[in-house]
Homo-oligomer: A and B are copies of this chain.
Amino acid sequence: MLYIIGLGLGDERDITLRGLEVVKKCHKIYMEVYTSLLSFGLSADGLSKLENLYGKAITLSDREMVEEKADHMLSESRDADVAFLVVGDPFGATTHSDLVVRAKKMGIAVKIVHNASVMNAIGICGLQLYRYGETVSIPFFTETWRPDSFYEKIQRNRMMGLHTLCLLDIRVKEPSLESLCRGRKQYEPPRYMTINTAIEQLLEVEQTREESAYTEETECVGFARLGSEDQMIVAGTMRQLQMIDFGPPLHCLVITGKTHPLEEEMLDFYRCSM
C-alpha cells in the first residue's frame, strides 16, 4: 500500500493523528523536497525533528527521484506499507496525480491522508474561498522567456469580481544551463519568488498590455510562510506591498476582486499602515 500523506503547512506538529499513525506503521518513508520543504526538510534540524517524531529514518526524494525513480518506491509499495510525505495536501498547489496514476496502473493500492494546503489556508485573510476564480502561477521571467498567460486569467477573474490566488515560482534543483551543455548535471541554488518580484513582473506585464486588468493601486494580500508560527500576512495596494520585506520563503499573493463588507473588515486587521 502507498500512503500519500499531507504534512500541512507549518512544522512537524501539523501532521494529523491519522497521518502519524500511518507513518509509524510504514516500512519505508519518503519525503518530497521539491515544492516547499522549508520548515521541514531543507534544514538538517527540521529533518531530524521529523525522524524523532516518527521514530524512523526518512529518505528525501527530490524532483528527479519522483519523476524518474518513482518505480522503485512503487514496487516497494507492492509488498509493504510505504509512506510518501508531502507538504500541504497531496492534491493542493502541487498535485501528485501522476504518482497515483502510475501506482494504480501497477495494481498498487493508494490511500490519501489530507491536510491543510495553501489553497484553503489563504482563507485566513478573510477573503471568502468561494469568491476566488481560477488560480494562476507566476513564473520567473528570464531575458528571453516572459510568459504572461496569467494576465488574461487575472483580468477575467477581476471582471467577474473574483479574487485570484497567485502561486509564485519555485526553482529547486534546476540543472544549470552550463552543466546541461557539458552533459554533467550540476544544480542552480534554489530560488523562491518573493512577493516583490511577483508584483514587479505583474506591473511590467500591465505596462505592456495596458488593458487595466489591475493597477499599482489594486488591493492585494501578501502571505509569507503561511501556516507557520512566524507567518506574515499584509493587505495593501500592489505599490504598498512592493515596499515590504516579507522575509524568508514561501510567499504567495492574492489579488482581490470585488470585496464584501465582512471581507473588508477582516482585511483591515492585516492592512499595512503606509
Interface residues of chain A, those whose CB is within 8 Å of chain B, are: 6, 8-10, 12-18, 20-21, 89-93, 95, 97-98, 100-101, 104, 112, 114-117, 119-121, 123-124, 126, 128-137, 156, 160, 162, 167, 227, 262-263, 265-266, 269
* Bound Cα distance from A265 to B103, whole angstroms: 12
**Number of identical monomers bound together in the oligomeric complex:** 2
A269 near B104 with CB under 8 A, answer yes
Specify the chain B residue showing the minimal Cβ separation from A130: B135
| Main secondary structure on A side of the interface with B | mixed
B115 engages A95 (CB within 8 Å): no
Residue from B8, B101, B119 in contact with A129 in the complex, judged by beta carbons closer than 8 Å? B119
Q: Report B-chain residues with C-beta under 8 Å of the C-beta of A263.
A: 97
With the chains together, A231 CA to B274 CA distance in Å? 49
For A167, the closest partner residue in chain B by CB is B130
CA of A16 to CA of B13 in the docked complex: distance in angstroms?
7
Q: Which of B16, B91, B269 contacts A115 (CB under 8 A)?
A: B16
- Which residue of B6, B135, B262 contacts A101 across the interface (Cβ within 8 Å)? B262
- Smallest Cβ distance from A90 to chain B, in angstroms? 7
Q: Are A17 and B20 in contact (CB under 8 A)?
A: yes
A123 interface neighbour in B21, B90, B156, Cβ under 8 Å: B90
User: How many whole Å from A226's CB to the nearest CB in chain B?
Assistant: 9
A116 to chain B, nearest CB (A): 4
Not counting A119-B119, A130-B134, a sample of 18 additional A-B residue pairs whose C-beta atoms are within 8 angstroms of each other reads A8-B16, A8-B114, A10-B18, A13-B18, A15-B16, A17-B20, A89-B120, A89-B121, A93-B129, A95-B129, A98-B262, A114-B120, A114-B124, A115-B115, A129-B135, A131-B134, A133-B134, A134-B162
Q: How close is A268's CB to chain B, nearest CB, in angstroms?
A: 9
Given contacts A15-B17, A116-B114, A160-B156, whether A124 and B91 have CB atoms under 8 Å apart is yes
> Closest CB of chain B to A113's CB: distance in Å?
9
CA distance A155 to B18 in the complex (A): 39
**In whole angstroms, how far apart are the Cα atoms of A156 and B265 in the complex?**
29
14 chain-A/chain-B pairs, Cβ below 8 angstroms? A8-B16, A10-B18, A14-B16, A16-B17, A16-B115, A91-B124, A93-B130, A95-B123, A98-B262, A114-B116, A119-B119, A119-B123, A130-B134, A134-B160
Q: Which of B100, B120, B129, B137 contacts A116 (CB 8 A)?
A: B120
Contacts of A21 in B (CB 8 A): 13
Residues of B close to A135: CB separation below 8 A = 129-130, 132
